[in-house]
Structure 1
Amino acid sequence: MSRHPRVAFTMNREDHASAFPAPLLVELSAFTEIITPEPLTELSSAQARAVLAETEILITGWGAPRIDAATIGMAPRLRAIVHAAGTVRPILDPAVYDLGIRVSSCASANAVPVAEFALASVVFGLKRASRFVAQLRDTKGVRDVRGMPPIGANRVVIGVIGASRVGREMLRMLRTLDAEVLLCDPYVSPAQAAELGVTLVDLHELCRRSDAVSVHAPLTDQTVGMIGAQELSLMRDGAVLVNTARGALVDTAALTAELVSGRLDAYLDVVHPEPLPADSPLYTLPNVVITPHIAGALGNEVVRLGELAVAETARFAADGTFEHEVRSVDLAIIA
């Protein structure tokens, strides 16, 4: 690799502009040669092929085309991919690793706003904010706590499913609450759970004991529908389900039945299918808040991804290492 490695971008233009404002591109150009400041939005044109032929570090992001062996074949000098977004799974063919390409992800930067959103959802959910909003709309000013589930986040039990990057950031943020925190994750040992300051339990115990459950597991063949009718039935009356991970982790039909009955509350940033059918009752229930997949970095949060991508590129240019490397063995278990 040259002393100043040649860098190119592939992602959608809007996120590129948000993640890499001019001052950050100036910082990046201090230790790299940016082949073109404009991101490649496709990799098949003659122009894209010409850029790839010179690229040593490829910075990807949301909207990037899938990177596979054919892509690497067009980039003989490529040594590393830095993903300025969350998970690399949608864009990265595992065959890339067989060709010796190193990969880094900025998922840890994206984890911050997701965990902030999840924490806010837990607090709002336990405060019964959506129920009070609906009540206020109907009564035009009357607040009545009669018939409400238990209100507040003081001395409650909060269950976190998945010690992913977002899950761990959520665990850190939960320390601000006066709450007992349970964790379900098959890849975490009791000793590691102790270091995280949480109690390790299985999924059913977590569902039984928690006043609020926050989902942060990856979506894999093994986790699809992991929260189904049985798990939901174990949750105590008035429990709050928060999902900022993937909609397919939860059985939508089973959850809908529980929410229509009014037994549970839910704050859902992801659903399955996404979006839900227009006639879904979840859009109008007073005990449900649905947001359109906004927990991850948006607006002024996106620049965090660019900053971390530049830091990772600087590290790789200096000594060939990454702080946030994604290995081939990680693909099966990461979000």
Structure 2
Amino acid sequence: MATADQHTDPHDVWLPIPPDEIEGLPDGLHYVHWDAGPDYPADPARCVFYAVPYMKSAEILLRPLPRMSRVRVVQTLTAGTENMLPGLSDMPSGARLCNARGLHDASTAELALTLTLAALRGIPGFVRAQDAGEWRPDLRPALADKSVLIVGYGSIGSAIEDRLTPFECARVVRIARTARDTVRGPVHPLSDLSAHLPEADVVVLATPLTDATRGLVGSGFLAQMKDGALLVNVARGGVVDTKALLAELESGRLYAALDVTDPEPLPTGHPLWHAPGVLITPHVGGPSSAFLPRAKRLIRDQLTLFAAGEPLRNVVATAE
């Protein structure tokens, strides 16, 4: 277990997990635990590595950054970094923002498949029937022989396809920001989206929220989806225009399974709660039993590279 170094130079590492619960942390750094409480565990000016608490508001996570005048690394525990990008201007020149690529792949891909199967096979209706003590047989669509379009083919999108493979889909089409080839086949550029949307029975959103993807799934996108198609969102709520989606759901033309919404949390009484043909989970793609051990490994591995002066993984932005 790493011990706290008492050198006078700034060398604090802020961890969202108690340091004595993470095996293998490198020596020579002083570890403190902060999980977004009102009081800081140490002077932020001494922090050189800030591992961001998980599933807290952007306002809280950004709060210490203006005082972290010597921070060199800001490490999120999320794949998306949209909440932390506004803090780049408060970070000293050369400081790196790293995401958690790979951390949530298994858990989020599992939920994407769960939502897809549950929505297609009508599980919410069967649960309501069970609650009412009623036997309601129904003929529902299978995932087998369906065409699936994955929009956003990073590590999570790839993990989703891993889990689709045994289900005998007729076709899986991959879309990402730029085209490339994979061992499974081509990844088509976002500019080709219109050519593939009309053929998809299931559209899975796994893209990060960026200026290019905010509102991507608007009325035009949805209008190109075939009648009866299912939209599955495990990305970010802001990728979808909620008003446009509501119009399609209320008409009965499309179905949706959403782990994320806009707004989020979805307020009580919001019409999306009661729209026909929608299944909603409360942003639980990442939080599962798979999270904590993977988060600890990520933090340990990044700190080991940092302490050795080696290049970090998952760098998404550098402060100017």
How far did residue 271 of structure 1 move?
1.2
Q: Does the residue aligned with 1:327 lie in a helix, a strand or coil? A: strand
1:69 & 1:283 partners in 2: Cα distance? 36
> Where does residue 306 of structure 2 map in the other structure?
316
- Does structure 1 residue 186 correspond to structure 2 residue 177? yes
> Where does residue 9 of structure 1 map in the other structure?
14
> Where does residue 27 of structure 1 map in the other structure?
24
Letter in 1 for 2:232: V
2:232 to 236, 242, 254: 242
2:53 to 53, 56, 61: 61
How far did residue 99 of structure 1 move?
1.2
Identity %: 26
How far did residue 255 of structure 1 move?
1.3
> Where does residue 105 of structure 2 map in the other structure?
111
1:39 to 10, 34, 37: 34
1:161 & 1:79 partners in 2: Cα distance? 33
Q: Does the residue aligned with 1:306 lie in a helix, a strand or coil? A: helix
Letter in 1 for 2:144: N
Letter in 2 for 1:226: L
Q: Does the residue aligned with 1:141 lie in a helix, a strand or coil? A: coil
Q: Tell me the TM-score normalized by structure 1.
A: 0.77
- Does structure 1 residue 158 correspond to structure 2 residue 152? no
Superposed, which structure 2 residues align to 1:90-109 within 5 Å?
90-92=83-85, 93-95=87-89, 99-109=93-103
How far did residue 133 of structure 1 move?
3.7
Q: Does the residue aligned with 1:86 lie in a helix, a strand or coil? A: coil
Letter in 2 for 1:128: G
Q: Does the residue aligned with 2:269 lie in a helix, a strand or coil? A: coil
Letter in 1 for 2:119: G
2:109 & 2:287 partners in 1: Cα distance? 11
- 1:166-212 CA distance string (max 9 Å, x none): 2232233333332211122232x2xx244443562622233201110
2:196 to 183, 198, 206: 206
CA RMSD of aligned residues (A): 3.2
Give structure 1 stretches of 5+ with no counterpart.
330-335
1:299 & 1:174 partners in 2: Cα distance? 21
**Bigger mean CA offset, 318-327 vs 92-101:** 92-101
Runs (4 or more) in structure 1 with deviation over 4 Å come to 42-45, 134-139
**Bigger mean CA offset, 308-317 vs 130-139:** 130-139
Count of matched residue positions in the alignment of Structure 1 and Structure 2:
304
Q: Does the residue aligned with 1:160 lie in a helix, a strand or coil? A: strand
Q: Tell me the TM-score normalized by structure 2.
A: 0.80
1:70 & 1:132 partners in 2: Cα distance? 51
If each structure's helix is expressed as a fraction of its own residues, which one has the higher value?
1
Q: Does the residue aligned with 1:238 lie in a helix, a strand or coil? A: coil
